[in-house]
Amino acid sequence: MIWTVAILVPLTPFSYLQPIMIGGGPGTWFLLGYILFSTIGVGGFVGISTLAFVIEIHERRRLNYRVMLTGLVMLYGGILLACLLLALAGAIGGYFLTIQHYTANAAQDILSLFVNPITTVSSVAVVGTGLVIYAMVTAKATKA
């Protein structure tokens, strides 16, 4: 919600975000970070919660909570950081390209600084996803 409001607020520095998104290039990074955060944050949480509910209530199996919690923290921490870094890279690169009229190569240099950190935190999210799946697959049947 906060991210959406920030995009729509007509006050500086937020008023720069819409022209940055329209300008493409780095603005695409910003928009991608926003869309991924919105869909994975909501859709992913709903999906994992639904599966956990089915496993625990309907199938009467108990999840390994330590593995599940570790996986969730890694998954959502990685997703949050990756999306924020995408948005930050897009906003900074787009600001210099669209507002300050830097060259495309200069804006690309700014974006390239974010590639390794985004890759690293995305990898953390992937490992977290694996742990969540492992916790669900290895859930033990509870005694009635």
Q: What are the residue ranges spanned by the domains of the chain?
A: 25-141
Bigger pLDDT: 18 vs 131: 131
| Percent of the chain's residues with pLDDT above 90 | 39
* Res 66: pLDDT: 95
Using 50, 70 and 90 to split pLDDT, how confident is the model at 43?
confident
Looking at residue 81, its pLDDT comes to 93
pLDDT score of 141: 85
Question: What are the tens digits of pLDDT across the range 47-92?
Answer: 999 999 999 999 999 999 999 999 999 999 999 999 899 889 888 9
CA dist., res. 97 & res. 108, Å (int): 9
CA angle 14, 15, 20 (to 5 degrees): 95
Using the predicted structure, report yes or no on whether residue 44 has a pLDDT greater than 90.
Answer: no
Distance, CA of 37 to CA of 112 (rounded, Å): 21
Global pTM reads 0.78
| Summary mean pLDDT of the chain | 86
